[in-house]
Amino acid sequence: MRTFSLSLLPHFPSTAKPLTTLVSSYQLNPDRIKDEVITNILVKAMTQFPSPQFDLSLHLLSPSQSNPGPNSTSDLTEAVAKLRVLNAQLEGAQYARFWVTLDSDDIYADLTTDIAGFEEMIRLRIAQLISQAHREVQTSVLEGWLGLDGEDEVNKFVIETCGWKVGEDGLVQIPKNADNEAKKTEIREDVAVDMFGRVIKRAWEDSA
């Protein structure tokens, strides 16, 4: 059975199959599991939102850890609870709230610091999801969604990283793609001629 070193985790691919393999490896080798391993895997899985990867990774926890009682105060329990909050906000597309929460407590920085480029991965994923749903977004809105500070940072990110354009009115233009393109939908319903006959006959009989 292939195992993975904790030192490799920050650079481990954040994709479904490798994460599943990693979780399975530690499930089969429980003696290798440490609190830091669990939280790092959860943080890594979080970058794949929206997806079931975070919930899948929770299977590394014992039942008492994944569903702690009201009096449970262990460091791991607290860490998992905070990571659940972050993941729920990402899954619910509450991007601005996610960044506020991330900056609200030093423990979040401690939990995510081992994952190289965590904030950038989250930011890129948010941008990808935005591009699938929007063609235009105000710079001020993107500032909150992307967790950036000021119009200059937003403009630099959307132009240099995303390849989007920013208009003079502060409106960010997102290129057309298969997901955000407005498509005309035609709804056709075939109605048999004899149906009209029945409707007319019924109306005639009701009025008689």
CA dist 82 → 60, 76, 98, 173 (Å): 17, 10, 11, 35
Instruction: Verify that 111 and 161 share a domain, yes or no.
Output: no
The CATH number given to whatever domain includes residue 4 is 1.25.40
Domain contains 207: no
Q: How many domains does the chain have?
A: 2
Instruction: Verify that 76 and 161 share a domain, yes or no.
Output: no
Domain contains 190: no
Q: Quickly count: other Cβ atoms within 10 Å of residue 67's Cβ.
A: 11
Domain contains 1: yes
Q: What is the pTM of this model?
A: 0.75
Distance separating alpha carbons of residues 158 and 194, to the nearest angstrom? 58
The CATH number given to whatever domain includes residue 154 is 1.10.10
| Predicted local confidence at residue 181, as pLDDT | 80
Distance separating alpha carbons of residues 58 and 97, to the nearest angstrom? 23
Instruction: Verify that 72 and 88 share a domain, yes or no.
Output: yes
Distance separating alpha carbons of residues 108 and 43, to the nearest angstrom? 10
80, 61 contact by CB (below 8 A): yes
| Predicted local confidence at residue 49, as pLDDT | 94
Strands 171-173 and 165-166 turn out to be antiparallel
Instruction: Verify that 106 and 45 share a domain, yes or no.
Output: yes
How does pLDDT run along the chain (208 residues), one tens digit per residue? 344 444 444 444 444 455 566 666 666 666 666 788 888 889 999 999 999 989 888 877 766 555 655 555 578 888 999 999 999 999 999 999 999 999 999 999 999 999 999 999 999 999 999 999 999 999 999 999 999 999 999 999 999 999 999 998 889 999 998 888 877 666 666 656 566 566 666 766 666 5
**Is the bond preceding residue 50 a cis peptide, omega within 30 degrees?**
yes
Domain with 144, as residue range(s), is 117-179
Q: Which residues lie closer than 8 Å to 59 by C-beta, 6 or more apart? A: 23, 27, 66
- HSE-CB at 38 with a 13 A cutoff on CA atoms is 25
Distance separating alpha carbons of residues 127 and 79, to the nearest angstrom? 27
E strands, the chain, where? 136-138, 165-166, 171-173
Instruction: Verify that 104 and 7 share a domain, yes or no.
Output: yes
Domain contains 194: no
Instruction: Verify that 70 and 159 share a domain, yes or no.
Output: no
